[in-house]
Structure 1
Amino acid sequence: MPIKEKLNNLSQQPGVYQMFDNNEQVIYIGKAKNLKKRVSSYFDKQHLDGKTRALVANIKNFEVIVTETETQALLLENELIKQYKPRYNILLKDAKSYPYIYITNDKHPRVSFYRGQKNKEYQFFGPYPSAHVVRDSLSLLKKIFKVRQCTNSVYRSRSRPCLEYQIGLCTAPCVGKISDENYEQDVAMMSLFLSGKGKETLDKVSDKMQQASIDLDFELAAHYRDQLIGLRTIQEQHTSQSMGDMDVVSIVEKDGVHAVEVMFVRSGKQIGQECIFPKHAKGKLSKEVLSAFLPLYYLGKDTPKQLLLSEKLIDKKLIASALNTKIIDTPQKDKRHFLKIATLTAEENLKQHLISRFTKRSQ
Structure 2
Amino acid sequence: MTDFDPKRILKSLPMKPGVYQMLDADGGILYVGKAKKLKNRVSSYFRGSGLNTKTMALVSHIRDIQVTVTANETEALLLEHNLIKAHRPPYNISLRDDKSYPFIWVDTRQAFPAVRFRRGRVKGKGMWFGPFPSGGGTRDTIDLIQKTFQLRSCEDSVFSNRSRPCLQYQIKRCSGSCVGLISEDQYAEDLAGAALYLNGRSQVLIDNLTDKMDGAAAALEFEQAARYRDQMGRLRRMQSQQGVDTDYGDVDVIAIESRPGISCISLLVVRDGRLLGHREFWPGGGLDEEPEALLEAFVPQYYLGEGQHSVPSEVLLSHPVGDEGWLSSVLAAAVGQSVKVGHRFRATRARWMQMARDNASQALSGHLGNRLDMNRRRESLAEILGLDTLPVRMECFDISHTQGEATVASCVVFDDQGPLKSDYRVFNIRDAKAGDDYAAMHEALERRYNRVKGGEIPIPDVLVIDGGPGQVTQARDVLSELGLHQVKLLGIAKGPTRKAGMEWLHVEGNDLPIRPPSDAPGLHLLQHIRDEAHRFAITKHRQARGKARITSPLEGIAGVGPKRRQQLLRHFGGLREIQGAGLHELASAPGMSQKLASVVYAALHGES
Between the two structures, name the one with larger relative contact order (CA 8 Å, sep ≥ 6).
Answer: 1
TM over 0.5: no
Query: Which of these two proteins has the greater Rg computed from alpha carbons?
Result: 2
**TM class, shorter-chain normalised?**
0.3 to 0.5
Q: Using structure 1 for the length normalisation, give the TM-score.
A: 0.42
